[in-house]
């Protein structure tokens, strides 16, 4: 089955940013969103879409029926989810393949054109069979050094299941794109200035359907690449500085302050990207061999048993 070939990947903006780049997209990144207030929106602008993570509930058991799907949305790329472990990747694709202002790369352009006339279920199958999408997705699999030969058929039945959906404006309307729905859900007319507020309202409605103790929600935004944005803004300021006359001292000082702030932001962003890349490398690395050899060397030097005994003593002392 298709889902057996897809791994589970961690919900993390660094993972998703490198995943998007691996599929050939340029000029975008993913950022975690903790609030949709004005200052946050200004900091993350321009924003292309939102990705919402929540604990999945069986809609059949919900008192409020889900909103109707838009049956006249042929202009929307919508795919049914047929892969259990790839809802995050599919939510990201739901934004990438519905925006005309993102450079998605030639392979995704070809994929979008090839599947343009497919119904949602066939689009979902096309995603599951895409060598590019599957390979990039699976490249973020955590290294698993152990092979379980016995599989418990009841394992995972009581575990929570989490799901990703996307929100993005398409041709003047805000759409909720949930691969588990029959089709895209039109949340009403919008523009590039107010769609985020409408999406926030839809997300709040979803959250209100859970108990007050439920905290397992996450919101991420697909935004313009901060590195490119800051570099473009610095270049623009440099042009303004060159155009100023010698007597425009106050204006020059103000622009230089703005430039220094942008340089600082650019530096922080480069550090964050380096940290993301290192974390992604560590996610994929198998540490079992080094741990095994370390423990073996300690045992050969008769140091392992004393260390274990000391650790047990410290644990006992903490519990007293």
Q: What is the pLDDT of residues 293-317, one digit of tens each?
A: 787 887 888 888 888 888 888 888 8
Residues in the chain: 320
Query: Is-catalytic flag, 137?
Result: no
In sequence order, the β-bridge partners of residue 186 are 175
- 87, 216, 267, 285: which is the annotated catalytic residue? 87
Q: Which long-range contacts (CB under 8 A, 24 or more apart) does 68-72 make?
A: 68/185, 69/181, 69/182, 69/183, 69/184, 69/185, 70/175, 70/183, 70/184, 70/185, 70/186, 71/183
Q: pLDDT at position 159, please?
A: 52
The rounded distance, in Å, linking the Cα atoms of 124 and 121 is 5
- 163, 190, 216, 285: which is the annotated catalytic residue? 163
Query: Is-catalytic flag, 7?
Result: no
Residues 6+ apart with CB under 8 A from 67: 176, 185, 187
Q: pLDDT at position 132, please?
A: 95
The rounded distance, in Å, linking the Cα atoms of 186 and 170 is 10
Q: pLDDT at position 32, please?
A: 94
Paired tokens of 88: 């995050």
pTM: 0.82
Enumerate residue ranges in the chain where pLDDT < 70.
Answer: 1-4, 56-66, 143-160, 211-215, 285-287, 292
Q: pLDDT at position 242, please?
A: 93
């Amino acid at each position: 089955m298709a889902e057996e070939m897809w791994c589970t990947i961690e919900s993390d903006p660094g993972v998703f940013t490198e995943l998007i780049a691996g599929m050939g997209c340029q000029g975008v990144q993913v950022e975690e969103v903790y609030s949709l207030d004005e200052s946050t929106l200004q900091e993350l602008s321009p924003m292309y879409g939102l990705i919402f993570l929540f604990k999945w509930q069986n809609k059949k058991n919900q008192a409020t029926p889900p909103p109707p799907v838009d049956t006249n949305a042929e202009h929307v790329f919508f795919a049914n989810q047929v892969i259990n472990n790839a809802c995050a990747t599919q939510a990201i694709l739901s934004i990438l393949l519905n925006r005309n202002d993102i450079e998605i790369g030639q392979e995704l352009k070809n994929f979008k054109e090839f599947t343009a006339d497919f119904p949602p279920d066939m689009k979902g199958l096309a995603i599951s069979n895409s060598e590019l999408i599957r390979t990039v997705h699976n490249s973020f699999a955590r290294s698993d050094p152990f092979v379980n030969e016995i599989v418990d058929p009841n394992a995972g039945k009581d575990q929570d299941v989490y799901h990703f959906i996307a929100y993005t404006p398409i041709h003047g309307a805000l759409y909720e794109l949930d691969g588990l729905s029959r089709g895209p859900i039109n949340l009403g007319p919008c523009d590039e200035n107010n769609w985020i507020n409408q999406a926030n309202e839809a997300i709040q409605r979803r959250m209100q359907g859970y108990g007050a103790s439920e905290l397992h929600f996450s919101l991420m935004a697909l935004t313009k690449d901060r590195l490119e944005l800051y570099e473009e803004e610095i270049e623009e300021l440099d042009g303004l500085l060159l155009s100023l006359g010698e007597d425009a001292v106050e204006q020059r000082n103000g622009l230089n302050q703005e430039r220094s702030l942008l340089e600082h932001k650019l530096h922080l962003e480069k550090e964050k990207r380096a940290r993301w890349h290192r974390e992604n490398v560590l996610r994929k690395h198998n540490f079992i061999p080094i741990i095994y050899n370390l423990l073996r060397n300690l045992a050969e030097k008769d140091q392992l048993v004393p260390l274990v005994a000391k650790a047990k003593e410290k644990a006992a002392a903490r519990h007293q």
